[in-house]
Amino acid sequence: MLKNKGITLIALVVTIVVLLILAGVSITAVFGENGIISGAQKAKEKTDESIKQEQEDVGKLVNQLEDFEREGLPDTVKDAIQKGTIFTVNKQIKDATGKTMTVPKGFKVKEGTDVDKGIVIADSEGNEFVWVPCTEVQYVKHSYTGTNNNDAGIDIEDDGNAGWNTWYYRAYGDWKGDPVQEPENAKSVKNNRGFYIARYEAGIPSNMEGVYVDPKAEVKTYNTSGRNTSNYVPVSQKGKQAWNYIDQTNAKAASEKMYAGNESVSSQLVDGIAWDRTVQWIVDSGKYQHTGIGNAETSESIEKDSTTKGNYSNNTGITENNILWAEHINADGVGWCLGKSYKYGKFTSGYTETYTGPFNDFNGYNSDQKYSYIKFVEMSTGASEDTKLNNIYDLAGNMWEWTTERGSHKDASNINQDYANKTYAVYRGGCFADPGNAGPVSHRNGVNLVSDARINYGFRVVLYVR
């Protein structure tokens, strides 16, 4: 009995030793220098290297194919226009003076011969954009050098000789916000020496619910329902209802949807830097001058007074036939009353004189009760050649235009308490209800909340070439 037990114990010890040896061998096979894991790691590294090499080879091939495609595309603006070429890759081409611009894939050159005067491109849907030439050094916000001039709590700043002004943008020095230079946008400008700005204010797309009754009708119902949303894609086309009654948050989101997923361009709500550069480019052209209205004999540069180059309340000089327009009123004791309908027909810019009458032509105000009121006229996008600046329409007047620039008024000691600790967004360029000298194309206004949506607030899209 004892002998059998001894043998069993020895067998057990031998078994354990064998198991330990086998375990050691297994561990070595798995974790050793030439083991399974090491081999798998080396195999992974070789696979990663192969994939990287394949990607580099594919990238080189793609570049070669794109170079081949570029070689077959026009080299000049003139040839691109004559041939009606839709570019299949991004390509730099030259204007008549030898200056370059980049035409993105999916666009064609539609109009213009000189980069400095505004070259127009269009996509397959007819949306148009204007090339704004810009070096890396020029792609900066406007720098104010003047002092704050506060008048009854309102801040109007005149930037010395330049004449750029603001409204509640730096009131009492408390504005906390600036245009932010997005790295990708700056990189695009550096590489391409420019960017694109929509030729027209953002227009309402034809599929927006509650806006169009019949696109071919003589009279279209004026309806703001459904406008304060980013569920639709804006258009940059002539003769459209301007997409107003939209807040800054939704304007930003809608702008980004216009070319979402596009491999050649990114679409965005115009930022403060792009607006400033566009205005400075227009000013530098020296072509645009406000020459005075009525008895006024003064002559001002466009950044100081844009009255005669936009649909403003004090500009009665724009007369057009057969365009789409709407008339609104601002009444004492009532406020804004929206027009009942859009109309096709003769349009004259500027407000009618204040008078007393019934609200029988406006939405919700069809009684015989009389009020003292002023009429203002909103016009469709690009309706008049008089509003064109370097091939861009309505940059001055018609609609205040939201930008991506946000800020806040932290110090409420000298202003209304409602202004403190809230987020504001900047809008630019004046509107149909304001005079052109108070809201010139350079004007920067920081008084309204990001959530404000009004009849005279619109927006504009910019494109950066990827």
Q: Is 386 exposed, middle or buried (0-12, 13-18, 19+ CB in 10 A)?
A: middle
Q: How many CA atoms lie within 13 A of 219 on its CB side?
A: 5
Among the residue ranges 150-154, 227-231, 372-376, 439-443, the one predicted with the least confidence is: 150-154
Question: Three-state SS across 166-200?
Answer: EECCCHHHCECCCCCCCHHHHHHHHHHCEEEEECC
E strands within 233-299? Answer: 265-269, 289-290
Q: What is the DSSP letter of 399?
A: S
DSSP state letter for 150: E
Segment 222-237 mean pLDDT: 93
* For residue 286, pLDDT beyond 60: yes
- DSSP-derived 3-state class of residue 301: strand
For residue 16, pLDDT over 90 is answered with no
Planar angle of CA 149, 152, 154, nearest 5 degrees = 60
The domain limits of the chain are 125-466
Helix (H) or strand (E) holding 274: helix 272-285
pLDDT, tens digit, for every residue of 181-193? 899 999 999 999 9
DSSP 53-114: HHHHHHHHHHHHHHHHHHHTS-SBHHHHHHHTPBPSS-EEEE-TTS-EEEEPTT-EEEE-S-
pLDDT band at 385 (very low <50, low <70, confident <90, very high): very high
What pLDDT was estimated at residue 313? 93
Tens digits of residue pLDDT in 308-346: 999 999 998 899 988 889 989 888 878 888 888 888 888
Instruction: State how far the Cα of 296 lies from the Cα of 258, in Å rounded to an integer.
Output: 43
Long-range contacts of 368-373 (CB under 8 A, 24+ apart): 371/331, 371/332, 371/333, 371/334, 372/331, 372/332, 373/329, 373/330, 373/331, 373/332, 373/334, 373/337
Is the CA virtual torsion 125, 128, 133, 134 positive or negative? negative
> What residue type is assigned to position 394 of the chain?
D
How far is 461 from 327, CA to CA, in rounded Å? 26
Out of 276-285, 385-394, 404-413, 443-452, least confident range: 404-413
| Closest residue by Cα to residue 280 from 137, 114, 435, 120 | 137
Cα distances from 406 to residues 175, 183, 427, in angstroms, run 10, 18, 10
Task: Provide the pLDDT for residue 28.
Answer: 65
pLDDT at 194 over 80: yes
pLDDT at 56 over 70: no
Amino acid at residue number 179:
P
Q: Is 299 exposed, middle or buried (0-12, 13-18, 19+ CB in 10 A)?
A: exposed
Contact assessment for residue 101 and residue 119, using Cβ atoms and an 8 Å cutoff: yes
Give the CA distances from residue 168 to residues 7, 149, 426, 463, in Å, rounded to whole numbers and listed in that order: 100, 11, 10, 29
Which of 380, 386, 424 is CA-nearest to residue 399? 380
How many Cβ atoms sit within 10 Å of the Cβ of residue 94?
A: 16
pTM assigned to the model? 0.82
- HSE value, Cβ hemisphere, 13 Å, CA-based, for 106: 15
- Residue 438's Cβ-side half-sphere holds a number of Cα atoms within 13 Å equal to 13
DSSP 334-394: TEEE-BSEEEEEEEE-SPEEEEEEE--SBTTB-SS-EEEEEEEEEE-TT--GGGEETTEES
Nearest Cα to Cα of residue 179 among 210, 221, 141: 141
The tens digit of pLDDT for each residue in 120-161 reads 999 999 999 999 999 999 999 887 766 555 443 344 555 555
Stretch 23-41: mean pLDDT, rounded?
A: 67
CB 160 within 8 A of CB 166: no
Q: Is 46 helix (H, G, I), strand (E, B) or coil?
A: helix
For 67-71, 258-262, 387-391, which range has the lowest pLDDT when averaged over its residues? 67-71
